[in-house]
Amino acid sequence: MTKYDRKLQARAAAAKQAKKKNILSIVATVAVIACIAALLIGIPVMKNRKLFKEFFRINNKSVSVLEFNFHRTNLINNYAQYLQYFGMSSLDDIETTVYDEEKGTTWGDYFTECAANSIKENRALIADAKEKKVSLDVDAQYKTYMNQIKTQAEAAGMTSDAYLTSMYGAKESQLKSIIKDNLTAVLYSDYLTKTNAAPDEDAQAEYDANKDKYDSVDYRVLSFAPAIPEGAGGEEIEAVKNETKAKAQEMLDKVKAGEDFETLCATYAPEDKRADYADSETDLSLVTGETSSYASGPYSSWLFESARTAGDSTIYTDENSGVHYVLLFEKRYMEDTVLENIKQNLTYTTVTDYINKVSESYVISDPDDNLPTL
């Protein structure tokens, strides 16, 4: 994949994460500790007298600056692996890089909105757990969390309080109730996930109804792009295009005649890449485990046609670019992890719907206009 392809895939992954913000935003406590050494950590430390100042309200109950900082910092660190693909490596970058061009909002605005919603969902889940009288061992989880903080702090040559202050702007005694509230929501979310686990038959039914969505394919491909000389006129351009198409057809004919695809690539690939194609260890023509959701070429519809069988070959022409792709289909199959992933997604949907339902009556108000984009 090219750098551009990887960037697009990262954007798609980030978009997928964004859709999962309900659960993502409450689970971002213990999991992000290992990221604290990255450049994306830390909120500028405020004076202690401002940490407990009201930032906004939920059902007319105050949310402090410190609680907001805690959730927003965790969310930013949880996204760190994606942000680098958008050229962000510092908090300043996050505050200035556009997230939604239509609305004119930045990634900083996005994390602010997510943090506010995270706190709203936490409060709804904590109240629901209490109402349902679900037993949660928060004290044990808090001890585990603080032990992890201590380990990370020692590795950085800091005390636990100094380490927490570098992340959130406050020491343990000031953060304890906020951390415990978050852990309560995390544990209750885990409880909901376990008690609402999708059955195996539902996962199988989803797969059977949407095989194109879940199946993977292996295939071979070589692209033929017309090398049009600079300043070429209409007739010359047409001649180059015809020659390129003829070469692609020539290779396809040989593939259909039984010649080895990989060997042919060493002859028909662009001259500067032939050595790479000739190297059997790199096997550049082979693409494995591709799904319709993350297809790397414009020929996905051909690959996933229901009638496609091993040994099928064709030329796919991208009319927009003029590139011809010689394709050889190897196989179509279901990865071992597919049914388990479907179960997780079905469970996630059920739990998310429940979280949304219990959160409906929790309303964010912003008397000081600290959440202008929400």
Farthest-apart Cα atoms in the chain, separation: 80
pLDDT of res. 99: 87
Give the integer Cα–Cα distance in Å for 99 and 53.
28
Tokens (6 digits) for 260: 């080895």
pLDDT of res. 353: 94
Tokens (6 digits) for 166: 């570098």
Which residues touch 139 (CB under 8 Å, ≥6 apart)? none
pLDDT of res. 154: 92
Give the integer Cα–Cα distance in Å for 365 and 55.
10
Which residues touch 128 (CB under 8 Å, ≥6 apart)? 188, 358
pLDDT of res. 48: 55
* 169 torsion bin: left (phi>0), alpha (psi -120 to 50), beta (else): left
pLDDT of res. 49: 57
In contact, 207 and 112? CB cutoff 8 Å: no
- Radius of gyration in angstroms for the set of CA atoms belonging to the chain, rounded to a whole number: 27
Alpha helices in 196-279 (DSSP H): 200-209, 211-214, 234-256, 261-268, 274-278
Report the chain (374 residues): mean pLDDT per 10 consecutive residues: 42 46 36 35 50 94 94 85 77 86 90 93 96 96 93 91 90 96 94 95 97 94 88 82 94 97 93 85 88 86 94 94 94 95 93 94 95 90
pLDDT of res. 328: 98
HSE at residue 349, side-chain half, CA atoms within 13 A, is: 8
